[in-house]
Amino acid sequence: MERNGKRTVQVNVRLSTDDFNLIKRAANVLWPDAVLTNSGILLGLAKIAARDVLKSKSGKGPKRTD
């Protein structure tokens, strides 16, 4: 991301209500008093997950449970 924080790539996603509720619950655990937009929640969690994947030795993310 640029130094000034400006985002230059737009991404559109469609989630099921259940998936989005799960994501919102996770965000509430991480940032309990924050006022977040839907896109802020997704971007924040995606960035955390991306860092975790890149830190792992195998380069693989957590196993999916669905």
Confidence of residue 57 (pLDDT cuts 50, 70, 90): low
pLDDT of residue 30: 93
- Six token digits for residue 31: 């940032």
For the question of whether the overall pTM of this predicted structure is more than 0.75, the answer is no
pLDDT of residue 49: 92
Q: Which of residues 51 and 2 earns the better pLDDT score?
A: 51
Whether pLDDT at 59 is above 70: no
What secondary structure does DSSP assign to the chain, as a single string?
--TT------------HHHHHHHHHHHHHHSTT----HHHHHHHHHHHHHHHHHHSSS---PPP--
- What radius of gyration do the chain's Cα atoms show? 14
